[in-house]
Structure 1
Amino acid sequence: MKRSLLAPALLVAATALVAPGSQAAPAPLAPAPDISVTSVQAHLNQLQSIATANGGNRAAGRPGYLASLNWVKGKLDAAGYTTSVQTFSTSAGSTYNLVADWPGGDPNHVVMTGAHLDSVSVGPGINDNGTGSAGILENALAFAASGVTPRNHIRFGFWGAEELGLLGSKHYMSTLSTAEKDKIELYLNFDMIGSPNPGYFVYDDNPAGNGARDDLTSYFTSKGIPWEYIDVQGRSDHAAFRSYGIPTSGTFTGAETTMTSAQAQKWGGQSGRAFDPCYHSSCDTTANVNATALDRNIDAIAFMLWKYADVDYGTTPPPAGGNVLLNPGFESGAASWGGTTGAITSSTSKPAHGGSWKAWLGGNGSTSTESLTQTVTIPSSATTANLSYWIRTDTAETGSTVYDTMKVQVIVGGVTTTLRTFSNVGTSSTYTQFTHSLLAHQGKAVTVKLLMNEDSSLQTSFVVDDTAVSVS
């Protein structure tokens, strides 16, 4: 959590032992599971090991942070998430955000959960904020393993450089078009959820139409856990979302401020002692985490994730012209597309089919994997639904042996289908259009994926442009 610029007394807002009424929402797909605190502690042990091996920290711009991000990304990739890494510059050097999308759900209604992955430079940052990162990671893995089909699109963000001023989450929001920002229905933030002298705080952020704050307080009340509202203002990454009017909430177990005697009586802690005496210090290790507080908060995350995955935000009709893909010709750069950074380019080395931008996958001449993804919903009323794209290829390979490939795939309900495979064999430097029917997926969320694999020698370039998912 970013260091406070406010007096501690200004941070804690109204206290409540009985939650106000929660806004009603449809029943979740299934009861949220009991998230394993043992698994989350194993994640924390891994983050501690990474810090220990990299100078004792996981700070932005340093090797420990990148190692942390790569480890989390590997877990999410293996679970079936579509991940993308954003690079941005800071005073500490280049660092990264990791964004993970679960295939499926209405892409026009996004429920997003996030936590910052970086530590301060003086310590490993296990409570701040290994606990939040490990907590949402284990929830993401549990959601993937559950087999549920969410009504809404689920996305997780692991932010870099929070400790330098919320830079990662601000950068992410700056890259989204207004239309993409408008699709985010809710952002939930989890920063320091295992403090050793814990309180149970709920973000007091409640823009019009946001029942998330009340749902969190109702959850804690149902478990017999007293809670307090807190206005964390600009101390964590929810602020980047709140500034655009996106409803936000989250939980927090306290940082450098001291627990009052009333709070100690309520929560069984130690009055006059900081909620986290190791805040922003070298002693913020795995020994600096309260397992009970961690367990309670990761289950609260699960409750909110499963509930809001199925909230009915309504349906959005396809845009005029029938193409439900956004930024289909890539002329807005990487906007609306997830996947490999830099794969969408305006480089003049390869011509676009139309305009200046296109997707260029491969052409590296070395072992590599690149991908691009976008999720759309095929209306249940559609009578036609076709995926189309223009592609040109060129290669330095010779002969009839397949070395390099690009697959055009769709992912529906976690099941991946390859529609066509292009390779270094039979290439054409002239753009050719291909079309595939998606009508079998009426009423479903479909993730369109371009997946390129190149071997260790001789390049093959796959250049794609002017894509469409046309419905009528």
Structure 2
Amino acid sequence: MSPRFRRVRLAVSAALAAAAIGMLTAPAAQADAGSFANPGFEAGGGSWNQFSMPFGGVELINSSSTYPAHSGYWKAELGGRGFAGVNRVSQQVTVPAYRVPVLSFWLRIDPQTPATMGYRELIVEATTQDGTPYLLTSRTNKDSNGEYQKVTLTLPDAFYSSSEQRVNISFMAVEDAANKLPFLIDDMTMTYNLKIFRPWIPPVLTRPTIGL
């Protein structure tokens, strides 16, 4: 990772933390409890928060045929703008009580030449209701595959609670001015599992055998 790339990432971290807390207080449209609204972006940018720095007004959610969607016509296109900066889309989801949340989405990273350095990075985060962010996964241009692949992530224990909580899910691309191909994201889902508690079984005690 180049020094300039690291400086860009550090420069936006404070602004992103503040934005994440602000988004948690904003109302978010929900099709069903615990689900994403507009999960495949077919309603455009509806229900999604979009953030771009240093330049605003970038259509992060679009139907451009240059990079096709996984399904339908619309997808999120993060990065690939040709300048050092950050793009992010995020949405608030209500996680039900006593459930383990599992995030799935489809990701495409096109191959690049050369791909020996990570000039672009995708960061997937979940932020708890109190504003604490958790890194779920990250990818760089070195992880290119050239086609959509499904990514499934189980959120950590901080998102399991005896009461429902509002959780912010964000997809953020940080890039240098090199290697302009974007990260493409589509078809998000949130599913929920029951937490399995395994009972503690004491070890079986045996008496030592004393030789006669």
Q: TM-score w.r.t. structure 1 length?
A: 0.33
Which residue is 1:468 aligned to?
189
More strand by share: 2
Could you tell me how far apart the structure 2 residues matched to 1:154 and 1:77 are? 17
Q: Deviations over 1:362-406 (max 9, x none)?
A: 122321210001011111142x42100000011544142111111
- SS of match in other structure, 2:15: helix
How many residue pairs match? The answer is 170
Q: What is aligned with 2:178?
A: 457
What does residue range 113-132 of structure 1 map to in structure 2 within 5 Å? none
Distance 1:444 1:463, change over 3 A: same
Q: How far apart, in 1, do the equivalents of 2:17 and 2:125 lie? A: 18
How far apart, CA to CA, are the structure 1 residues paired with 2:89 and 2:147?
22
Q: 1:394 aligns with which of 93, 110, 128?
A: 110
Query: Counterparts in 2 of 1:60-71, with a 5 A limit?
Result: none
Unaligned runs of 5+ in 1: 1-73, 83-100, 105-152, 156-178, 184-317
| Larger helix share, 1 or 2 | 1
* Pair 1:323–1:331, CA change in 2 (3 A): farther
- The one-letter amino acid of 1:404's match is R
* Structure 2 unpaired stretches of 5+: 1-11, 52-57, 194-212
Deviation at 1:439, TM superposition (A): 6.4
- 8 A contact 2:116–2:142 mirrored in 1: yes
What SS does the aligned partner of 2:174 have?
strand
How has the CA–CA distance of structure 1 residues 356 and 411 changed in structure 2, closer, same or farther, with 3 Å as cutoff?
same
Q: Is the 8 Å Cα contact of residues 34 and 93 (structure 2) preserved in structure 1?
A: no
Paired letter, 2:117: T
Alignment partners' CA distance in 2, 1:386 and 1:363:
28
The Cα offsets for residues 177-234 of structure 1, whole Å up to 9 and x where unpaired, read as xx84xx8xxxxxxxxxxxxxxxxxxxxxxxxxxxxxxxxxxxxxxxxxxxxxxxxxxx
| 1:83-162 alignment runs, 5 A limit | 102-104=22-24, 153-154=25-26
4+ long deviations beyond 6 Å = none
Of structures 1 and 2, the one with the larger relative CO (CA 8 A, separation 6+) is 2
Change (3 A) 1:430 1:154: closer
In structure 1, the partner of 2:68 is 351
Shift in alpha-carbon separation, 1:470–1:432, aligned structure 2, 3 A:
same
CA contact (8 A) 1:397 1:424 kept: no
Q: Which amino acid aligns with 1:347?
A: S
Which structure has the bigger radius of gyration? Answer: 1
Match of 1:447 among 136, 144, 168: 168
| Contact in 2 for aligned 1:369/1:451 (Cα 8 Å) | yes
Separation in 1, partners of 2:41, 2:154: 22
SS at match of 2:145: coil
- What is the alpha-carbon root mean square deviation over aligned residues? 2.5
Within 5 Å, give how 1:34-73 maps onto structure 2.
Answer: none
Shift in Å at residue 471 of structure 1? 2.8
1:437 has 2:154 as partner: yes
